Amino acid sequence: MPTPHQGTPRYRMVAEELRRRIEAGAIPAGALLPPESALVQEFGISRGTAREAIATLRAEGLVVTEHGRGTYARPQHPVRRLSADRYRPNAVHASDLPETSLRADVRLDEVSATPTLARLFGVAAGTPLLQRRVLFWAHGVPEQLAISNYLLSVVAGTPLTDPTPEPWLSSITTQLSSIGINVTKIRELVRARMPTAEEASALRLLSGVPVLALTRRTYSREQIIEVANEIVLPADRAEIEYEILPT
C-alpha cells in the first residue's frame, strides 16, 4: 500500500504530520507522542520508517525520546532574555530574576595568554592573565557557563581576585567600575554550535539543543580590559537582544 518513495519520502510526511500536531497543540509540550507501533498502524509504514520520522523531529530538537518510556514533545523552558541593559552600571547579572534564586560556582586561575588571547588584548603571548570560570544558576537550573580573562596587571590586588561568588553576580561594568575602571565599549560576537559533551552535562542540555556562544571584549578607551572568550548559553532557555542605532 505505502507507495515507497515517490516525491516526498514517507518518513518526512509522517514527521510533518507529527510536527503539525505538536504545533497545533494536539500534542502539548511534555505529552507523549504515539508510540512507534501506533505510527506503524496509523500510517501503514514499517517500524524503521516510523523511527526515521521521529529521528527527524529529534534532530530538530522538537521531541525527546526516552528508552522504554516513549517520545514526548519537548517541554518549553522559560526563556531568559538578555538585553543590553545587563551592562548598565549597577545592573545585577540577571536583573530579571529575584536575587534569591541566583547562584554561581566560581573558579579562578592564573594563566598565561595564549597567542589568540594575547592578540585580543594587544599584549605579548605569555602575559599573565586572571582567568575566571563561572557556572551561573537560576531557579536551580544551570543557565550560563562563562570563561573570562582579565589582564592580571589590571586586576591584581583588587576585589576581583576574590573567589567568593557575590561580586560576579553584578555586571562586568559594575565590577570594573568598582576598581576605578570606566567601561566605554563592549563588543560581543555571537555564534551558535552544538555543545561539547562537558557543556551538555554541565548545562543539563537535552539532545538536539544547540548553545549560543558569545565572545565579549570589554574596552576602556580602546584598551581591552576583559575578554570573555566563551560565554555559553543553552539555546532553548536564552535569547539575546541588541539595540543598534544607525549613524
Partner DNA sequence: CACGTCGACACGTCTAGACAAGTCATCTGG
Partner DNA sequence: CCAGATGACTTGTCTAGACGTGTCGACGTG
Q: Which one of the spans 47-55, 114-122, 161-169, 186-194 is the region binding DNA (CB under 7 A)?
A: 47-55
Name which of DNA, its own copies, none residue 244 binds, using a CB cut-off of 5 to 8 Å depending on partner kind: its own copies
List all residues 6 or more positions away from 103 whose beta carbon is below 8 Å from its beta carbon. 136, 137, 138, 165
Name which of DNA, its own copies, none residue 69 binds, using a CB cut-off of 5 to 8 Å depending on partner kind: DNA
52 binds DNA (CB under 7 A): yes
Beta strands at 102-112 and 80-82: parallel, antiparallel or unpaired? unpaired
Please choose, from the candidates 126, 168, 118, the residue with its C-alpha nearest in 3D space to the C-alpha of residue 143.
168
Residues 96-135 that bind DNA (CB under 7 A): none
Place of cell 519520502: 9
70 binds DNA (CB under 7 A): yes
Sign for the CA dihedral angle at 113, 114, 115, 117 comes to: negative
Least Å distance, CB 25 to DNA, is 20
47-59 helix and 36-43 helix, angle to the nearest 10 degrees: 110
Place of cell 547562584: 103
Least Å distance, CB 204 to DNA, is 12
Name which of its own copies, DNA, none residue 36 binds, using a CB cut-off of 5 to 8 Å depending on partner kind: DNA
Enumerate binding residues for DNA (CB under 7 A). 2, 4-6, 9-12, 33, 35-38, 44-49, 51-52, 65-71
